[in-house]
Chain A
Amino acid sequence: MTRQMTGAKMVVQALKDQGVDVVFGYPGGAVLPIYDEIFQQNDIRHILVRHEQGAVHAAEGYARSTGKPGVVLVTSGPGATNAVTGLTDALMDSIPLIVLTGQVPTFMIGSDAFQEADTVGITRPCTKHNWLVKETERLAQTIHEAFHVATSGRPGPVLVDIPKDVQFASAKYLEPAQTKTSHYQPQTMGDIDTITELVEALEQAERPIFYTGGGVINSGDEATKLLRELVDATGIPITSTLMGLGCYPASGKNWLGMLGMHGLYEANMAMHDCDLMINIGARFDDRITGRLDAFSPGSQRAHIDIDPSSINKVIRTDFPIVGDVKEVLRQMLGLWKDRGSKINRDAIRNWWGRIDEWKKINCLAFTQSGKTIKPQHAVHRLEELTKGHDRYICTEVGQHQMWAAQYLGFEDPNRWMTSGGLGTMGYGFPASIGVQVAHPESLVINVAGEASWLMNMQEMGTAVQYRLPVKQFILNNERLGMVRQWQELLHGERYSHSWSDALPDFVKLAEAFGAKGIQCSDPADLDDAIMEMLNYDGPVIFDCLVEKHENCFPMIPSGKAHNEMLLGENASTADAIDAGGAVLV
């Protein structure tokens, strides 16, 4: 059925036909016709944020916790420019988003009109693709194509810029099935010859390791299931990047924990000493590799990635496999079974023996004593008290983010929302709002630092307005903790502008917004205070006053290799030196 309708109505109809149930947005002059259509329907829920950056991060939280694309609607000019950080964040972390922006009427484009910005120009490098729609006839098919591009291949954010006259004018609406097939069809199946070579290498390998990343989670639940099957079938160790946490359960027996700059000792040492590294949906980010010329010197590397440009970008790959993780894992498991493959059992037993030695270092050990809460202790208690809940965790960026990654265990994918590639302070709070909108009955916690959290604190208004019971668990050290740590270790303890002198009273702040505030500074009160937060049916700001000068370890200093980690004072470093690691303490 074809129907004549206005561009504004088309936008809403296209979103419905694409299965959208919620839009995060903020109105303004250039999108008023679309807001008028939103007012006149009940199928799509609109969440009014307090800043456009918040809308994009909320949509990211929605997308990452559901596997569906997130949708954002903002106005022209400042509405669009405020969305840029969120778009860049989503591009770096491969999160599917459809961002719709209003634009001044076509006949005013280029005249420096009120609230005009060159939105497609500004967002070209921070979107997977973008479109300026100049005719209403093309609007519906462009929006359908936008969904296709955002969700196919390596996912990412796309933007559709819609001038106001295009929203007012009428044209024939095309349903998704009526639009022409896009030529953009990324390859999903892996090359079977290369996969066969990889399986042969895996049969021979003496020290293999799986190194997984966000690509596994982006590939969907099926990919996670197949990955777990493959790990069980082979029995070899698995580590993951920050982005991939949850693709293999933290309670699984082959789990080594996160790797990278603040990864676990055993994970980094295993990466350094392995002879076969199987990268599944990760991208050899610099936070992972450390110094490139000392990265895993004795290994062959396989790289499974849907984006050909990720392969051989920074690390030379011996088994390059372009494809969707779930398809390639299915091919690999099929081969493994058909060939009756077996691992090199004795060698793998020895390999696990070495890994078990590294685990004895106990690199995450800390001592909680005295009257001050250690941040690690706070996260550890949060883990103990929320384990078993259907729990979604967001974070901001900094030390607290790394402690959350180290001390919280993730059993399933899509439960962990953090800004990995871009490292966007201010991401976590709006993301937690998006997650809570998608999962109204679940426990959603944003583990935050006070500095990051303040960057998007205006979203308290959103949380309260929509009765979203998000828990803001703020590790408050009155410092920009990670900046302070680098200044201590690398800049002669000159703490240039890394503390805040005028922090708000977070309890009063919560109350001012109509939410609940809890402050805790005594380790003895911590469990009760956390339980009070969990039991409260509404948004909570939890101001956890923690040790101000705690550093986050293990740490691979920038420009060092995996086996040159700094360890905390509680790690059993004597064993480390015995184990032959070049550990700098």
Chain B
Amino acid sequence: MSALKLKKGASSHSAYNLRPTFSDAEERHTLAVIVDNEPGVLARVIGLFSGRGYNIDSLTVAEVDHTGHTSRITIVTTGTPQIIEQIKAQLGRIVVVHDVHDLTVEGPSVERELALLRVTGTGDKRVEALRLADIFRANVVDSTLDSFVFEITGTSEKVDAFADLMRPLGLEEIARTGVAALSRGT
């Protein structure tokens, strides 16, 4: 079959680059969606995911171009290759979406997440928490005599690992931003 001579890295407005959809294995993809920053745009994107039963592992959004009023939504999602292609095509046809990039297949990219963790403890636990924070290059952004708030930046895996270590040391509460991602320079 002449079939699917498909490049990796489909863009939102073309089906020519669709990858073969034979596999049933689920994949994790990071999508960057450039949208008009107007009321309801996030609801459109989230509504698409809930309405069609797609997964959202993480989602971040902020205006990135104040003059052009465009926002960048970074979505981490999982699904079979066919579902991932559908998600991109469905996102691409939302009228206020300018572009959809699949950072997972469009070449190397960097992903970062920021988390704030409040860890309460005294004595050895407090010392150990501070020592581990140093190893993870987490910053102390608030301190009392029996608590710290750490700020950590890194991949989701790094944040997970740090949170796992903090849990027995008195982790009380955690706030995470979700993933922001950008393709690397070429």
Contact = CB atoms under 8 A, between A and B. Distances in A.
Q: Do A and B bind each other?
A: yes
B2 A201 contact: yes
Nearest to A130: B40
A184 B92 CA distance: 11
Which of B3, B12, B22, B94: most chain A Cβ within 10 A? B3
Interface in B1-27: 1-4, 12-16, 18, 20-22
Q: Is chain B's binding surface mostly helix, strand, loop or mixed?
A: loop
Contact of B13 (A154, A308, A311, A319): A308
Contacts of A187: 13-14
Interface of B: 1-4, 12-16, 18, 20-22, 39-40, 43-44, 47, 51, 82, 85-86, 89-90, 92-96, 98
Contacts of A322: 14-16
A124 B85 CA distance: 22
A428 interface: no
A132 B47 CA distance: 17
B15 A312 contact: yes
6 interchain residue pairs of minimum CB distance: A309-B89, A129-B95, A308-B15, A311-B15, A320-B15, A318-B3
A456 interface: no
A194 B16 contact: yes
Contacts of A124: 40, 43-44, 47
Nearest to A134: B39
B81 to A, nearest CB: 10
B21 A183 contact: no
A313 B88 CA distance: 11
A203 to B, nearest CB: 13
Given A318-B4, A320-B16, A322-B14, A309 B44 contact: no
Contacts of A121: 40, 43
B93 A309 contact: yes
A121 B39 CA distance: 11
Given A194-B16, A318-B1, A309 B90 contact: yes
B2 A319 contact: yes
Interface in A284-323: 300, 307-309, 311-313, 316, 318-320, 322
Contact of A197 (B2, B18, B39): B2
Q: Is chain A's binding surface mostly helix, strand, loop or mixed?
A: mixed
Interface residues of A, number: 31
Interface of A: 120-121, 124-125, 128-129, 132, 149, 153-154, 183-184, 186-187, 191, 194, 197, 200-201, 300, 307-309, 311-313, 316, 318-320, 322
A320 B89 CA distance: 13
A322 B15 CA distance: 7
A200 B2 CA distance: 10
Which of A120, A124, A191: most chain B Cβ within 10 A? A124
Given A308-B89, A309-B93, A316 B98 contact: no
Contacts of B85: 312
Nearest to B92: A308
Given A124-B43, A197-B2, A318-B3, A311 B18 contact: yes
A320 B18 contact: yes
A308 B2 contact: no
Contacts of B89: 308-309, 311, 313
A322 B13 CA distance: 9
A525 B4 CA distance: 59
Contacts of A309: 86, 89-90, 92-93
Contacts of B21: 312, 316
A311 B15 CA distance: 7
B2 A318 contact: yes
11 contacts: A120-B40, A121-B43, A124-B40, A149-B95, A183-B98, A191-B16, A309-B86, A309-B90, A311-B18, A318-B3, A320-B4
B1 A125 contact: no
B95 to A, nearest CB: 4
A309 B14 CA distance: 9
A461 B89 CA distance: 44
Nearest to B36: A183
A307 B15 CA distance: 9
Contacts of B22: 316
A312 B18 contact: yes
A373 to B, nearest CB: 44
Contacts of A300: 1, 3
Nearest to A194: B16
Contacts of A128: 95
Contacts of B12: 308
A316 B22 CA distance: 9
Nearest to B81: A312
Contacts of A184: 95
Nearest to B2: A197
A129 B47 CA distance: 13
B172 to A, nearest CB: 35
Which of B2, B15, B82, B94: most chain A Cβ within 10 A? B15
Nearest to B98: A183
Given A153-B93, A191-B16, 14 more contacts: A120-B40, A124-B47, A154-B93, A183-B98, A300-B1, A308-B15, A308-B93, A309-B92, A313-B86, A318-B1, A319-B2, A320-B16, A322-B14, A322-B16
A276 to B, nearest CB: 11
B141 to A, nearest CB: 36
A128 B93 CA distance: 9
A533 to B, nearest CB: 43
A313 B86 CA distance: 6
A321 B26 CA distance: 26
A153 to B, nearest CB: 8
Contacts of B43: 121, 124
Contacts of B3: 300, 318
A184 B12 CA distance: 13
Contacts of A149: 95
Contacts of A312: 15, 18, 21, 82, 85-86
B14 to A, nearest CB: 7
Which of B1, B93, B98: most chain A Cβ within 10 A? B93
